Structure 1
Amino acid sequence: MDFGILGFIVAGLVVGFIVGMTGVGGGSLMTPILLWFGINPATAVGTDLLYAAITKSGGIVVHQRNRNIDWSITGWLTLGSAPAAALTLWLLNTLHSDTEALNAVIKHALGYVLLLTALAILFKQRLLDFAKRHAGDHYHLSDRTLNALTVGTGILLGVMVTLTSIGAGALGTVALFLLYPYLVTKRLVGTEIAHAVPLTLIAGLGHASMGNMDWHLLGYLLMGSLPGIYLGSHLSGRIPDPVLRPCLATMLGFIGYKLVL
Structure 2
Amino acid sequence: MADLLTGQFFQILTAGFLVGIIVGLTGMGGGALMTPALIFLGVGQTAAIVTVDLTAAAIYKTGGAITHWRQGSPNVRLAAYLIAGSVPMAFLGPWLLNGLIDDPAQLENTLKLCIGIALLFAASTYALRLLINMRRVNSGGGEPDANPHIRLVPTVLVGALGGLLVGVTSVGSGSVIMIALLMLYPGLPAVKLVGTDLMQAVPLVLAAALSNIAIHGLEWDLLFPLVLGSVPGTVLGSRLAPRVAQSIIRRGIVIVLTMSGTALLFKAGLHPYGEGQDTLEAITVAVVGLVMLLLVPLVWGLLRKQNGLPMFGAPTVAELERTPLHRRG
Give your verdict on TM over 0.5: yes
Could you tell me how far 1:243 is from its partner in structure 2? 1.6
Q: 2:10 aligns with which of 6, 9, 15?
A: 6
**One-letter code aligned to 1:16:** G
Paired residues of 1:85 and 1:202 also in contact (CA < 8 A): yes
Q: 1:179 aligns with which of 175, 184, 192?
A: 184
* Cα 1:221–1:55 shift into 2, 3 Å: same
For the residues of structure 2 that align with 1:151 and 1:215, how far apart are their CA atoms?
Answer: 34
Question: Would you say how many aligned residue pairs link Structure 1 and Structure 2?
Answer: 257
SS across alignment from 1:174: helix
Matched, 1:135 2:142: yes
Q: Write the deviation string for residues 215-241 of structure 1: whole angstroms up to 9, x where unpaired.
A: 221111111111111110011143323
Could you tell me how far 1:89 is from its partner in structure 2? 2.4
Q: Write the deviation string for residues 25-76 of structure 1: whole angstroms up to 9, x where unpaired.
A: 3110110011012121111111111111111110111101100111111111
1:224 maps to 229
For the residues of structure 2 that align with 1:143 and 1:225, how far apart are their CA atoms?
Answer: 38
Could you tell me how far 1:252 is from its partner in structure 2? 0.4
For the residues of structure 1 that align with 2:119 and 2:79, how far apart are their CA atoms?
Answer: 24
1:31 maps to 35
Q: Note the aligned Cα RMSD (angstroms).
A: 2.0
2:317 maps to none
1:248 maps to 253
1:40 maps to 45
Q: 1:102 aligns with which of 104, 107, 110?
A: 107
For the residues of structure 2 that align with 1:194 and 1:96, how far apart are their CA atoms?
Answer: 32
Structure 1 window deviating more from structure 2 (22-31 vs 90-99): it is: 90-99
For the residues of structure 2 that align with 1:209 and 1:44, how far apart are their CA atoms?
Answer: 14
- TM-score computed with the length of structure 2 as normaliser: 0.73
Higher helix residue share: 1
Could you tell me how far 1:95 is from its partner in structure 2? 4.3
2:63 maps to 58
Could you tell me how far 1:83 is from its partner in structure 2? 2.0
Could you tell me how far 1:212 is from its partner in structure 2? 4.5
After the TM superposition, which parts of structure 1 deviate over 4 Å for at least 4 consecutive aligned residues?
Answer: 131-134
For structure 2, which runs of at least 5 residues remain unmatched after alignment?
Answer: 267-329
For the residues of structure 2 that align with 1:21 and 1:173, how far apart are their CA atoms?
Answer: 18
